[in-house]
Structure 1
């Protein structure tokens, strides 16, 4: 005789989304039709019939009616304090205004000023479906900075807000021991590594992951360190202190080795091709043989030779970049670098094909934090006037979406618990009124985000 089934029935879900494409972005890129959430985690993904048994009397059911679910967006390079202080002004929009009226640089003087800026960013990002972001550079190197947006006090503000439950996106931070977009000294960097005590992590919500180093400037200003000369014959240089190119390079290498030895993830602002070659070699040497998955990465990586990309792939060094910046500054870049070099700017296609992990991000408030625009820039490489910047570097829509979700989860070292929609992972997701994989990409910025969920909690719902 068959024994009765004594297994306990499954616990009813807190929230169920059903009746539309659920793009899991798991290892097999499966698309489901429904998803259940309980206690902040995804409990089941599958067909509508498979999820139906988890609907209980207290379960909130959201009928998708064809709307699409994506993993929560992770803007892996976004200046949250600065964005909150600057909004609604964006640097690229001011540049496009041809030297018209510009917003004054913010001056955050108090704890309340900084907290208000962070919370303004929180309220801006939730309706965009952004559930995680990286604050790329806060620390004592900017404690005397005029803006008040990048000093070490902001780290404490983030930690406090996280502990108070007032954040609606998970924040990863990088420490800054030099000036933002400015010079660093090897001595000051070593002192910061040795003496600065970052705030403790707030589990799942705030974490200091490592350090940021500004290795060089940017090509339009001719202070990115280049192999070939600019039109005026100069090559740019590293931003590290030193009396010669060789000494600056040696000190940069020492900084990278010291940061890796201290257990930090390292994000290096590197735009010139000569800079990136030196940085990648130093990162490879620092991490060789120790077995640690450090997840070091280049920030921007405007110009990268094929050999540099191959070295990055071999060493697991990522690329965090913003095609929208190249597109927005294409005319300046053409005048500074020439057409042949411009075609290689922001080499996202080459990087992916070489096996490099590519994250797309906004660098906001340089660009808009609206990732939909970022996807369009990565897929079309077209400006508003239709001119192209590196059309051979275009990505597919699915690749661009992975670069805003699964790839940055790996940059965060958090792919085991976020970044894709799988049972057991954090219930971080967004719902779009139309499936972004079924429309022309140019229409994506007009597709509304109707729901944002973080840790199983609805933080945005379009009424």
Structure 2
């Protein structure tokens, strides 16, 4: 691993940003006004004069003019290839819930490649320096979108090898259908044949597997202990003869992945699904006590006791506050007001110490992380200390996703020796109300020490695929 220590400590920086507010999110980084980058790493964070000592004639210097620097944004659940195909369309659009799926299937490798590159440009324009593709693989080789099968994986490998990725990418393998069924036989066969090799895992990493365990409450397909108003009685999406068999098969999937050393992300919206998943993780940890960063995706109906279990087991939560806001009435209609009022307990997740990642699920929603932070604050209600809440929510898009990526040792905060991934906002996010954050422009994005987006400098998103 490269470092910024030893004899290199005083070597000239490649890029210095000074004269602003640096929200490093690292211990001891408070009050910084400048940051120096060298060889893809943070070389120094501190005051203008302290950081300027690393400048020479070759150093590029950016005058922030009071603007704010943050660690690069990490969207821990973003279907980038699909986003690149559909943007600016999203599944929700301006509706309360998901509408008809937009149609723009990717039919060949050239289109898939362009979609990935287009998503990278869009991510850069939003300050996103890392993202997770939560489900790519053979389970979707015949999928209608063409955005999730093994050919997409091949394009990611090629782009990484060519050095053309605009953001760092983590991938979860998918051995069933997107939002659809999977079975134990194909899952185990997929694990046996899994090829997670990659040139540089800091740019492209195959972390583990995705399991679609259930649906969503508004569609009355979440597997829950609650009763649906219309009498619906959904089952898990995992194949099996009956509920008990399906639950056992989901547990076997989690155990098999854990034994093989793979992270598991489980799409689980119902509390009953979450119970089954946590029981399986607890059994897996008892058998082989290693924290692989397993996590629940969405977690709409997660309960406070489940959140405590998640924190104890090291199980994270990747969730979308804007979906909570938009679908409140739909969940109320499906389950009744009491379960709807208790859904999406974001404040409880933070209070219980769960590793909480705020995500967009784009193109279900816009990939704009500022909207998710505003939605999270609105969902949680008034804060006693708005600045402290904003700080915590920013960490849910930086530090916590780095933990989910098993990369907290080298990215997620701005400190010497950490990855030189950052974004610049036109104003300090701690100085504005969360509702105002979506109007605070992203000015600059840097990945691995290189500027990949500058507002007003030809950083427009390309035309649709």
Alignment TM class, shorter chain as reference: over 0.9
Residue 399 (structure 1) shift: 1.1
Query: 2:97, 2:326 within 8 Å by CA — same for their partners in 1?
Result: no
Residue 293 (structure 1) shift: 2.2
In the superposition, relative to structure 1, how do residues 153 and 202 fare at CA in structure 2: closer, same or farther (>3 Å)? farther
- Pairing of 1:270-281 with structure 2 (within 5 A): 270-281=268-279
| Greater displacement, 57-66 / 428-437 | 57-66
1:258-292 Cα shifts (integer Å, max 9, x gaps): 01111100000000011111111111211225332
In the superposition, relative to structure 1, how do residues 103 and 319 fare at CA in structure 2: closer, same or farther (>3 Å)? closer
Query: 1:155, 1:198 within 8 Å by CA — same for their partners in 2?
Result: no
CA distance in 1, matches of 2:449, 2:252: 43
CA distance in 1, matches of 2:9, 2:413: 26
In the superposition, relative to structure 1, how do residues 440 and 9 fare at CA in structure 2: closer, same or farther (>3 Å)? closer
Residue aligning to 1:403:
396
Residue aligning to 1:203:
201
- Pairing of 1:36-51 with structure 2 (within 5 A): 36-51=36-51
3-state DSSP of counterpart to 1:125? helix
Residue aligning to 1:412:
405
CA distance in 2, matches of 1:253, 1:440: 43
Question: How many residue pairs were aligned?
Answer: 447
CA distance in 2, matches of 1:104, 1:137: 19
1:225-278 Cα shifts (integer Å, max 9, x gaps): 110210122332211111211010011111110011111000000000111111
Match of 1:349 among 347, 350, 358: 347
| Greater displacement, 268-277 / 326-335 | 326-335
Match of 1:425 among 405, 418, 425: 418
Query: 2:135, 2:210 within 8 Å by CA — same for their partners in 1?
Result: yes
Residue aligning to 2:3:
none
Residue aligning to 2:262:
264
3-state DSSP of counterpart to 1:288? helix
Residue 156 (structure 1) shift: 1.2
Residue aligning to 2:309:
311
Query: 1:24, 1:31 within 8 Å by CA — same for their partners in 2?
Result: no
| Greater displacement, 116-125 / 289-298 | 289-298
Residue aligning to 1:385:
none
In the superposition, relative to structure 1, how do residues 326 and 73 fare at CA in structure 2: closer, same or farther (>3 Å)? same
Match of 1:360 among 335, 358, 361: 358
- Pairing of 1:116-155 with structure 2 (within 5 A): 116-155=114-153
In the superposition, relative to structure 1, how do residues 230 and 8 fare at CA in structure 2: closer, same or farther (>3 Å)? closer
CA distance in 1, matches of 2:103, 2:178: 14
Residue aligning to 1:283:
281
| Greater displacement, 188-197 / 214-223 | 188-197
CA distance in 1, matches of 2:254, 2:306: 17
Residue aligning to 1:156:
154
Match of 1:450 among 443, 452, 458: 443
Residue 94 (structure 1) shift: 5.6
3-state DSSP of counterpart to 1:13? coil
Residue aligning to 1:10:
10
3-state DSSP of counterpart to 2:173? strand
3-state DSSP of counterpart to 2:134? strand
List structure 1 segments (4+ residues) > 6 angstroms apart after TM superposition.
Answer: 392-395
Residue 105 (structure 1) shift: 2.2
TM-score (ref. length: structure 1) = 0.93
1:8-41 Cα shifts (integer Å, max 9, x gaps): 9921111111111101111456341111011111
CA distance in 1, matches of 2:374, 2:8: 48
Match of 2:185 among 179, 184, 187: 187
CA distance in 2, matches of 1:201, 1:326: 38
Gaps of 5+ in 1: 1-6, 382-389
Match of 2:430 among 437, 440, 448: 437
CA distance in 2, matches of 1:336, 1:289: 38
Residue aligning to 2:57:
57
TM-score (ref. length: structure 2) = 0.93
Residue 458 (structure 1) shift: 0.3
Query: 1:224, 1:271 within 8 Å by CA — same for their partners in 2?
Result: yes
CA distance in 2, matches of 1:98, 1:180: 15
In the superposition, relative to structure 1, how do residues 139 and 273 fare at CA in structure 2: closer, same or farther (>3 Å)? same
CA distance in 2, matches of 1:8, 1:254: 49
3-state DSSP of counterpart to 2:308? helix
Residue aligning to 2:250:
252
In the superposition, relative to structure 1, how do residues 283 and 29 fare at CA in structure 2: closer, same or farther (>3 Å)? farther
Residue 52 (structure 1) shift: 1.6
Query: 2:184, 2:249 within 8 Å by CA — same for their partners in 1?
Result: yes
CA distance in 2, matches of 1:295, 1:49: 40
3-state DSSP of counterpart to 2:169? strand
Residue aligning to 2:74:
74
- Pairing of 1:168-183 with structure 2 (within 5 A): 168-183=166-181
Residue aligning to 1:4:
none
Residue aligning to 1:384:
none
Gaps of 5+ in 2: 1-6, 457-465
